Amino acid sequence: MRESTLWLFDIIAAIILVITVLIHIFPFSTLISGIGIKEAVGINGIIERGKSLTYLVTYIIFLAAISYHPFYRLRLMLIEYFGGNSVREKIISIGCLIAAIILLVLGLYATIVLYLQ
């Protein structure tokens, strides 16, 4: 895959993160239901949101973006410092991909388990 394609995905992931991180930090339920921020970010608020289908979808999108964006950037930095050799660069790319997948799976597990509870 061309580097420009990976970069384009990264920009799209960054835009998605702007929206989903805001949702994550300032839950919209506080605006809609009038529940205060303190209650919304407390354990009960988190569990209540976790059971909502809207939040499940939002968090899955959030997880996909946050699994891609930082690891793509980390890959770029590592290739810049330690690259110069196609084998080393492949190892770095695969390593970052594996780390991203692990993070994604862990996040999905927590999100889906909470939803199904």
Partner 1 sequence: MSKEIMEVTFRIQRFDPAKDRYPYFREYRVPVRRGMTVLEALIYIKENLDATLSFRYSCRSAVCGSCGMLINGVQRLACATQILELNTDVIEVAPMPNYPVIKDLIVDLTRLFETHRKVKPFLIRKDIKEQEEPTKEYYQTWKDIVDRILQFTYCIKCGMCLSACPTVGYDKEYLGPVALTQAFRYIADTRDEGANERIKVVDSPHGCWNCHFAASCSEVCPKGVDPALAIQLLKKVIIKRKLGLKI
Footprint of partner 1 (CB under 8 A): 2-5, 7-8, 76, 79-81, 83-84, 89
Q: How far is the CB of 75 from partner 1 (least distance, A)?
A: 9
Pick between residue 51 and residue 88 the one whose CB is nearest to partner 1.
88
Select 86 or 117, whichever has its Cβ closest to partner 1.
86
DSSP states of the chain: --HHHHHHHHHHHHHHHHHHHHHHHS-HHHHHH---HHHHHSHHHHHHHHT-HHHHHHHHHHHHHHHHHHHHHHHHHHHHHH-SSHHHHHHHHHHHHHHHHHHHHHHHHHHHHHHH-
CB of 52 to partner 1, least distance (A): 35
CB of 40 to partner 1, least distance (A): 37
